[in-house]
Chains A and B, each alone.
Chain A
Amino acid sequence: MTGGPPELTDALREILAQVTGRPELRGLGGEVPLFGPGVGLDSLTGTLLLREVHRRFGVDVAAEDLNLDALASLATLAGFISARQLT
């Protein structure tokens, strides 16, 4: 999956920093895994992130992506969203 436009990745990084309450994530690389140690996306912060993505970009990730692979990194999430916004 290719990454989306940089400004989309930036917007997602800002949402992630807000829903996790961790401003230091504003410096997060686009390829860093969101699950697992480091970012530690969990059921609560993941739900908030997906809700905000749905609201802002009109893409319901969970309805299409059974394994939530789109949440692997900010780059994969941006790629997932931009692919659906074009169609």
Chain B
Amino acid sequence: MMVKCVIWDLDNTLLSGVYLESPQQPPGADPAMLTVAAQLRDRGIIHAVATRNPSEAAHHAAQVTGLEFAATECGWGRKSDAVRRIVEDLGLAADAVAFVDDDLYERAEVSFAVPEALVLSPEDMADAVGWPEFSPAVVTAEARRRGEMYAERRRRQEEARVFGGSRDAFLVYCGTQVVIGPATAADVPRLHELSVRTHQFNTTGEAVSEAEVMAWIASAEHQVTAVRLADRFGDDGLVGGCAVAFGGLSPGGSGGVVPPRQAPGEDGTATVTLLMMSCRAMGRGVIEALLAWLARSARQAGATTLVVPCLISPRNVPLRLALAASGFRAAEGSSPGEASVLFFRPLSGPLPDLPSWVADTVAAG
């Protein structure tokens, strides 16, 4: 399992001393750990802090290391509880985090209570840059900015807490901009990465190679779409994508006419063969906007039914919620015990409007 987040202890781990022992001149960054942390950041791995120090220590550590912490847990609780809260707050799986602490007792406690986490001493960590768990195959522009994006997310959430209005009013207040447009060759590495990294919003749960994504973009039977998200807190870049097949048509047979890219199948269905979205976009209206856009563009292309084959897993319940909220129903007779279920949405009758902050560059272009 790839590590997505390293959770650091501070005293004698990320800092070269004990914070509270020298309040006038708190310790600087541990040079060896800082080198490792900066390298991992450049590979798209994010950092967080779990310390028994007061919260000023985390601010100090951010200053002396120059790292953006995606989450900080400060106080006297158990370290394993801090690790669990960080995992939940960041929407990660427990096996996608590493915990680094110089204290043998703390490491044992976290190992016991969170057995999925990779628990390391600072000495182990010095070597870890070479380990496969810390070596993603592709490092996209989005990955390099991941730490900053989590910090932006924290600032956005802090404002959301004090904002009085509805979620939609908050999205407008944030200057949310979603751009939905045709995927290009430049988007291929990030679309591949999303297929590997997304779980909560992923209809297939299968990694799609760059070659496969490229083949879909080039093929006449698929429409591949990329979704970008930004607001005044920051630019999240390419956060989602989907591929639609207009089923039932064979690719330009012998002497036949090559079907236009956006023609519906003979049975009137458009099938979403893959839908995926970063969990960073969660709660920001993006998945709902994409589902509304899919329904509208499929109807525009002449389809009468939109079909989403969807893996049934405890991990992608957020996606099923979005499907339910967007008017999709499982095929008659399906059961939750099945590995994958077809969800249908008829395209007759009223379709949801696109929010004002969604730009549809497919329709425009």
Interfacial residues, chain A to chain B (CB-CB below 8 A): 20-22, 35-36, 40-47, 50, 62-68, 71
Cα A41 to Cα B314 with chains together (Å): 19
**B324 & A63 in contact (Cβ 8 Å cutoff):** no
Could you say which residues of chain A place their CB within 8 Å of the CB of B160?
Answer: 21
**B324 & A71 in contact (Cβ 8 Å cutoff):** yes
Could you say which residues of chain B place their CB within 8 Å of the CB of A36?
Answer: 325
Could you say which residues of chain B place their CB within 8 Å of the CB of A46?
Answer: 318, 321, 324-325
Residue pairs across A and B with CB atoms within 8 Å: the count is 67
Chain A residue at minimal CB-CB distance from B313: A62
**A43 & B336 in contact (Cβ 8 Å cutoff):** no
Size of the B side of the interface (Cβ < 8 Å), in residues, is 28
A sample of 29 inter-chain contacts (CB < 8 A) reads: A35-B324, A40-B166, A42-B285, A42-B288, A42-B325, A43-B201, A43-B282, A43-B287, A43-B288, A43-B318, A43-B319, A43-B322, A43-B325, A44-B283, A45-B283, A46-B324, A46-B325, A47-B200, A47-B282, A47-B317, A50-B321, A62-B317, A64-B336, A66-B336, A66-B341, A67-B324, A67-B329, A67-B330, A68-B321
Cα A68 to Cα B318 with chains together (Å): 11
**B318 & A66 in contact (Cβ 8 Å cutoff):** no
Could you say which residues of chain B place their CB within 8 Å of the CB of A50?
Answer: 317, 321
Cα A50 to Cα B319 with chains together (Å): 13
**Nearest CB in chain A: distance from B173 CB, A:** 14
Known contacts A21-B160, A63-B314, A66-B335: A42-B324 contact under CB 8 Å: no
Q: Is B320 an interface residue (CB 8 A)?
A: yes
Could you say which residues of chain A place their CB within 8 Å of the CB of B168?
Answer: 40
**A47 & B167 in contact (Cβ 8 Å cutoff):** no
Cα A66 to Cα B331 with chains together (Å): 10
**Nearest CB in chain B: distance from A27 CB, A:** 15
**B336 & A63 in contact (Cβ 8 Å cutoff):** yes
Closest 9 pairs between A and B when the two form their complex, measured CB to CB: A44-B283, A46-B321, A43-B318, A43-B322, A68-B324, A62-B317, A43-B321, A35-B325, A66-B330
